[in-house]
C-alpha cells in the first residue's frame, strides 16, 4: 500500500484532505490512527487572520480612549495577539503527535501573505505545503492570461522561500488544464492536486436571496479530476493527487488506475466518521489481493492515456463514442 507523494514516503495512498476534521490535535491523531498516509490540515486563510488582527486593534483602541483610571485595563482579546499563532501552534503540535506526514494548507490573496505564512508553516513543522489557490475573478475585465500569471507568480514566490515540497490545488476551469498544470510544475510545484471545488452560490427562492454554502462531494464529482489525472500521468514525473468524489474503495481504486499518486477525501470521512478510512483502505487491499497485485505501483496508471497517444484525437474519439452510446441507450427509450 506504500506510495510516494511530493517526495514523501507514505504508508498508504489514502490521504485525509483539508477539511473540518483537523480542528484539534485529537482529531488529527484520530485520523492518523486509521492507517492513512498523510493528513492535510484545514486551510489557513490569510484574510481571516488579518480580519481578526484588525478586530483586536479596534478593540484596544476603543478602550484606550476610556477615562484615565481605566487606561491600564483592557478586556481579554477574543483571539490571541498574533492571530496566526493559534493555527501555527496547532500545526506544530499535530505534526509532533502523529507518525505520518502533516501537510499544511494555505489560502491567501497577495504574494506577500503567501510567502510570509508559507515560511511560518514550514517552520512550524509541516512536511509539505498545499497552496490552495482559489481565485475566481469577479472582474470580467481580467483576462485568462492574467489569472494564469498570478498563479505562476504565487508558486514561484512560495517555492523560493521554503525548503519543503509544495503542491498546488488548482481549479479545473482553465482553457487548457493539462498545459497549465505542467506550467505550475515548471514554476516549482512538486505536484498538483486535482481539483479545487468551485463554490457556487445558491438562490434561495423562498427568501429571494443568494446564499453561500458547500455541499459534500459525490462520486459523480470524480469524473473531471480522474480524466485529467489519466491525461497527465504519462506527461510528468511530478506528483498527482486526486480529490473529490470519493465514497467507496472502488472510487479510490479508479483514481489509482487513472494514475493518481494519492487519493484525498474529506466528504466520506465527514459522512461516516474518521474510522471509515480503514474501510476504504482495506477495500483497496482486498481488491489488490484478489487480482494478484503486490503493490499499488503494480496497477497505478494502467488506465492512463499512453504517452505516445495523440491527445486531441483520443479526446475526440471518446467524445464521439460517448454520444453514440447515449443515442443507442436513450434513443431506445423513446
Percent of the chain with pLDDT over 90: 70
Query: Where does the pLDDT of residue 31 fall: very low under 50, low under 70, confident under 90, or very high at 90 and above?
Result: very high
Q: And the C-alpha cell for 109? A: 490573496
Determine the Cα–Cα distance for residues 107 and 120; give it in Å rounded to an integer: 14
Greater confidence (51 vs 189) lies with 189
The model carries a pTM of 0.86
Query: Quick one: pLDDT at residue 49?
Result: 62
Determine the Cα–Cα distance for residues 79 and 87; give it in Å rounded to an integer: 11
Query: Where does the pLDDT of residue 201 fall: very low under 50, low under 70, confident under 90, or very high at 90 and above?
Result: confident
CB 267 within 8 A of CB 216: yes
pLDDT digits (tens, 9 = 90+) for 211-260: 887 788 999 999 999 999 999 999 999 999 999 999 999 999 999 999 99
Query: Quick one: pLDDT at residue 213?
Result: 75
Query: Where does the pLDDT of residue 55 fall: very low under 50, low under 70, confident under 90, or very high at 90 and above?
Result: very low
Q: What is the dihedral of CA 219, 223, 224, 230, to 10 degrees?
A: 130
pLDDT digits (tens, 9 = 90+) for 248-272: 999 999 999 999 999 999 999 999 9
Determine the Cα–Cα distance for residues 191 and 103; give it in Å rounded to an integer: 13
Query: Quick one: pLDDT at residue 48?
Result: 61
Please name the residue that has the C-alpha cell 490552495: 132
Determine the Cα–Cα distance for residues 239 and 4; give it in Å rounded to an integer: 8
Query: Quick one: pLDDT at residue 226?
Result: 97
Greater confidence (202 vs 237) lies with 237
Determine the Cα–Cα distance for residues 232 and 240; give it in Å rounded to an integer: 8
Greater confidence (159 vs 214) lies with 159
Amino acid at each position: 500500500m506504500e506510495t510516494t507523494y511530493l517526495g514523501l514516503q507514505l504508508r498508504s495512498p489514502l490521504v485525509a484532505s483539508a477539511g473540518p476534521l483537523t480542528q484539534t490535535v485529537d482529531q488529527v491523531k484520530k485520523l492518523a490512527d486509521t492507517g492513512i498516509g498523510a493528513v492535510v490540515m484545514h486551510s489557513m486563510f490569510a484574510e481571516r487572520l488579518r480580519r481578526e488582527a484588525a478586530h483586536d486593534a479596534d478593540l484596544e483602541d476603543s478602550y484606550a480612549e476610556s477615562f484615565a483610571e481605566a487606561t491600564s485595563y483592557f478586556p481579554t482579546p477574543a483571539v490571541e495577539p498574533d492571530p496566526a499563532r493559534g493555527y501555527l501552534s496547532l500545526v506544530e503540535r499535530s505534526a509532533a503527535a502523529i507518525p505520518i506526514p502533516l501537510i499544511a494548507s494555505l489560502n491567501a490573496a497577495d504574494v506577500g501573505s503567501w510567502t510570509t505564512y508559507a515560511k511560518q508553516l514550514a517552520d512550524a513543522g509541516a512536511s509539505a505545503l498545499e497552496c490552495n489557490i482559489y481565485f475566481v475573478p469577479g472582474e470580467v475585465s481580467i483576462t485568462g492570461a492574467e489569472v494564469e500569471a498570478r498563479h505562476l507568480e504565487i508558486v514561484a514566490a512560495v517555492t523560493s522561500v521554503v525548503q519543503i515540497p509544495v503542491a498546488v490545488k488548482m481549479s479545473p476551469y482553465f482553457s487548457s488544464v493539462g498545459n497549465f498544470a505542467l506550467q505550475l510544475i515548471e514554476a516549482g510545484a512538486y505536484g498538483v492536486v486535482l481539483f479545487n471545488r468551485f463554490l457556487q452560490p445558491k438562490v434561495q427562492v423562498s427568501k429571494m436571496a443568494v446564499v453561500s454554502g458547500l455541499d459534500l462531494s459525490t462520486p459523480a464529482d470524480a469524473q473531471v479530476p480522474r480524466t485529467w489525472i489519466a491525461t497527465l500521468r504519462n506527461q510528468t514525473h511530478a506528483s498527482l493527487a486526486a480529490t473529490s468524489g470519493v465514497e467507496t474503495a472502488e472510487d479510490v481504486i479508479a483514481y489509482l488506475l487513472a494514475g493518481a499518486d494519492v487519493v484525498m477525501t474529506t466528504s466520506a470521512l465527514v459522512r461516516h466518521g474518521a474510522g471509515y478510512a480503514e474501510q476504504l483502505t482495506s477495500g483497496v487491499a482486498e481488491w489488490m489481493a484478489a487480482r494478484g497485485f503486490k503493490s499499488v505501483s503494480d496497477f497505478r496508471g494502467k488506465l492512463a492515456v499512453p504517452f505516445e497517444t495523440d491527445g486531441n484525437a483520443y479526446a475526440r474519439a471518446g467524445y464521439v463514442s460517448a454520444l453514440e452510446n447515449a443515442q443507442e441507450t436513450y434513443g431506445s427509450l423513446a
